[in-house]
Amino acid sequence: MPKELILSGRVQGVFCRDYCRQNARRLGLRGSASNLANGSVRVLLDCDDERVDEYVRALRGNPFGFRFHGRISDITVTEYRGGMGGDYVF
């Protein structure tokens, strides 16, 4: 079932959407990332819960050493029903 992740913190203007894309590609995941008006970033992923947990751990810990100049303070994960589009598709 698709998941929606909301990333809070210093996540806009700091390469966050590309950071999300790089981690997803490294883990073999597909989805999208979009900046939201409230300053957060929304990531949509179409994968199972175990893969989402792996992705969240990668976003929090940056084990692959990808460039990211921000700080993710919180990640909220919910089930998602809707189109998988976004402004940064990966």
Of 17, 21, 23, 42, catalytic = 17
Q: How far is CA 59 from CA 29, 37, 65, 80, in A?
A: 13, 21, 10, 19
Catalytic residue among 21, 23, 25, 35: 35
- The reply to whether 35 belongs to the active site is yes
Q: Is residue 57 among the annotated active site residues?
A: no
Which residues are tagged catalytic? Answer: 17, 35
